[in-house]
Amino acid sequence: MAGAYQETPIGYVQAGIELDSLPTDLHHPAVTAYCQKMLLRHASTRERLPFLSEFYRQTLASIAPVHSVLDLACGLNPLAIAHLPLAAGAPYAACDIYSDLAGYLNQFFAHFSIPGTASICDLAAAIPDQSVHLALLLKTIPCLEQLDKTIGPRLLKAIRADHILVSFPARSLGGHAKGMPRTYEAHFRQLMEGLPFTVQRFEFPTELAFLLSRT
Ligand SMILES: C[S@@+](CC[C@H](N)C(=O)[O-])C[C@H]1O[C@@H](n2cnc3c(N)ncnc32)[C@H](O)[C@@H]1O
């Protein structure tokens, strides 16, 4: 299921060698080009790439600057860090089920001296309990629900964040819309019943996002 988003192997060893030869300034054009190339290798970030800057600008405008991030089931999304409106020195914790991904992301954070850590997690078994300003739960609920139908509200209740940016795909991996935004929105509203959040809604070409803020 997790592998559906990685049609071809990411190639972490080669990616790590290329990373080592890059300048250490995250905003250097060679680094921007490298991050874009890598973001294309995971279907989830590939779909977001055409509107990546707009995605974070719009969804996080009301809470910028962000003081700490927990990126759950992160995929390669930490490579989009330059697009997030972060406060200087904001810690970035990321986790995913793949250990080679976590290793590569730790190399990425170290190379650019980002105060970041990547770890392995299985959100179906345990939810990280650190407190943060912003948690990201991007396009992950439908994935986890294939294994456990009760995980959505459990996750949203357990995440210790002032704000949670949750998103759903608005297209299938094959590119078809099939009424997905309407279906996911109805599903999301159900998941949210009784939870103590205010909700802002954002629609992008392939992604429907909600910023939840604790009331
Ligand atoms: C649709 S992708 C989303 C990736 C990233 N959040 C984004 O939007 O770019 C789903 C991610 O969930 C991860 N994943 C799947 N099952 C998981 C689990 N049980 N615990 C943690 N991560 C999991 C996959 O490895 C994959 O990176």
**pLDDT over 60 (residue 2):** no
Counting ligand 1 atoms within 8 A of each CB, the residue from 97, 99, 100, 120 with the most, and so the one to mutate, is 97
Residues 151 and 30: their CA atoms lie apart, in Å, by: 40
Q: How far is the CA of 165 from the centre of ligand 1 (A)?
A: 14
Position 181 scores a pLDDT of 80
**pLDDT over 70 (residue 134):** yes
Q: How far is the CA of 177 from the centre of ligand 1 (A)?
A: 21
Position 177 scores a pLDDT of 63
CB of residue 2 inside a 6 A radius of ligand 1:
yes
CB of residue 79 inside a 6 A radius of ligand 1:
no
pLDDT tens per residue across span 16-27: 999 999 999 999
Residues 15 and 62: their CA atoms lie apart, in Å, by: 35
Q: How far is the CA of 119 from the centre of ligand 1 (A)?
A: 13
Query: Is there a contact between 79 and 41 (Cβ–Cβ < 8 Å)?
Result: no
φ and ψ at residue 141, rounded to 5 degrees: -55, -50
Local structure of 78: helix, strand or coil: helix
Which CATH number describes the domain made up of 2-214?
3.40.50.150
pLDDT tens per residue across span 57-73: 999 999 999 999 999 99
Give the closest residue (by CA) to ligand 1 atom 15: 2
pLDDT tens per residue across span 52-111: 999 999 999 999 999 999 999 999 999 999 999 999 999 999 999 999 999 999 999 999
Task: Decide which of 28 and 170 is more confident.
Answer: 28
Contacts of 169 (CB under 8 A, 6+ apart): 47, 139, 142, 180, 184, 206, 207, 208
Which amino acid makes up residue 170?
A
Mean pLDDT of 131-150: 95
CB of residue 49 inside a 6 A radius of ligand 1:
no
1 pLDDT band (50/70/90 cuts)?
low
Spans of all domains in the chain: 2-214
Q: How far is the CA of 5 from the centre of ligand 1 (A)?
A: 8
Position 133 scores a pLDDT of 98
Position 173 scores a pLDDT of 61
176 pLDDT band (50/70/90 cuts)?
low
Q: What's the chain's Rg over C-alpha atoms?
A: 16
Q: How far is the CA of 79 from the centre of ligand 1 (A)?
A: 15
pLDDT tens per residue across span 177-199: 667 888 889 999 999 999 999 99
